[in-house]
Amino acid sequence: MATKPFSRFEWMIAWRYLRARRAEGGVSVMTWISLIGITLAVFALIATLSVRAGFRAEFVDTILGANSHVTVYTQDTVNADGVRERGIRDYDTEAANLAAVEGVTRAAPLIRGQVMVTSGDVSGLGDVYGIRLEDLRAIPRIGDGAEARGSLDNFQNGVAVGEQMARDMGLKVGDVIRLTSANGVRTAFGTSPRVNGYTIEYIFSAGRYDIDKTRLYMPFAEAQSFFNREGFADEIEVMVENPEQVESYMPALMNASSPTTFFWTWRDGAGSFLRALDVEDNVMFVILSILVLIATMNIVSGLIMLVKNKGRDIGILRTMGLTEGSILRIFFICGAGTGIVGTLAGLILGCLFAIYIDPIFSLVNYVSGGNVWDPEIRGIYHLPAKLQLHDVLTAISLSLGLSFIITIFPARRAARMNPVEALRYE
């Protein structure tokens, strides 16, 4: 008797088999085990992929939001007096030429130097960035609109320091710190250290522990004087519209710059770490895919037991005229239905975990007594999560695909069962 594929009675029989108790020849316990296994596997896959995507996005954003996308610097030169010079002399002209390149949003000259920071009896090391006020305001995670204390209106009269440095040294807006540079005052007897006092006008948080712990911003002209760099800039900070495609800007930037300049992109500095993240993502995906496969294998064991327990029913249905295709579809619905429900449950749990990761992580941190996430080791201050449609669809496709494929084998075994053999001993 030919029947329409996936007819109503096929769904009805499959549903009765799935909800049958063990005393009735069903395998509801195995069904629940399969369902829970697939749910947890899909949940783990989506949660892991979202956390990895969020971590990468936050890490890259803290790099791009507080550092140059392209750094332009030059090799040392010897002037007409035979003195070796380091830095860019015509920095305003060089910056203007770079800023004129299509896709470049900003080009700013910088002074770079290292100092010892002292406040009372507390000392630490700091990386000084000499920068103009309008350029500092334009830095996304540090300038206007960023999370900060104080105001940049008085930046010309002081310095800006990172939140972690301020916390470690007990600093607040209005305090005075002493900066000591080894490359200081030049005298007839040599160079002596330079020590100047500066008022803290601004305390920023860039979202990166290493930046907030060591970085200071100083007015550009004051930095030139402090580090004996009058008339020079150490480098030019270039920002572009699409930093993820920074390599595409390089030919135009090279053409707009002088022949003696060199370029260092943000990918040159963070490329090895990002590649390590990509490798880790691939490894985690493979491991969790195996976990999903193991969970779907429970469907096979459950269906095999179901086919064995329902041998008499299969024989009766076949003698009533049901085709092998109908029997195959009935047991396919049993296995695929478990996979679909488990996948949907895992999808919901995984999405909820990604959406409410902050309160969940706060609870875990509270229960464990704190220090679960150490920003000094991991760089960023919190564990982020980012749901991506591609990751969600990948997890769903993997789970459903394995569930459907795995189900076919025991379903075919049921369909090919000889009804005479099935009823012989009944």
> pLDDT: is 312 or 283 the higher one?
283
CA quadruple 350, 352, 356, 360: dihedral, nearest 10 = -60
Kindly report, residue by residue over 111-154, the tens digit of the pLDDT: 999 999 999 889 899 999 999 999 999 998 898 777 888 989 99
* The most confident of 90-99, 268-277, 377-386, by mean pLDDT: 90-99
Give the pLDDT mean for 257-262. Answer: 86
Question: Which tokens in the block code for residue 121?
Answer: 């009896």
Give the pLDDT mean for 53-70. Answer: 87
Rounded alpha-carbon distances, angstroms, from residue 366 to 48, 359, 419: 21, 10, 61
Give the pLDDT mean for 22-36. Answer: 67
**pLDDT score of 371:** 67
pLDDT above 90: residue 204: yes
| Residue 265 confidence class, pLDDT cut points 50, 70, 90 | very high
**pLDDT score of 155:** 92
> pLDDT: is 78 or 99 the higher one?
99
pLDDT above 70: residue 188: no
Average pLDDT, rounded, for the chain = 83
**pLDDT score of 373:** 67
Handedness of CA 101, 102, 106, 111 (dihedral sign): negative
């260092």: which residue's tokens?
Answer: 264
Q: Please give the Cα distance from 239 to 144 (Å, whole number).
A: 16
Q: For the chain, count helices (H), then strands (E).
A: 15, 12
Query: 306: closest CA among 26, 85, 23, 29?
Result: 26
| Residue 44 confidence class, pLDDT cut points 50, 70, 90 | very high
**pLDDT score of 353:** 92
Give the pLDDT mean for 210-239. Answer: 92
Residues 358, 164, 363, CA angle at the centre, nearest 5°?
Answer: 20
* The most confident of 263-267, 278-282, 322-326, by mean pLDDT: 263-267
DSSP state of 410: H
Q: What is the CB neighbour count within 10 angstroms for residue 187?
A: 8
pTM of the full structure? 0.76
**pLDDT score of 25:** 46
Q: Mean pLDDT check: name the lowest of 127-141, 302-316, 345-359, 411-425.
A: 411-425
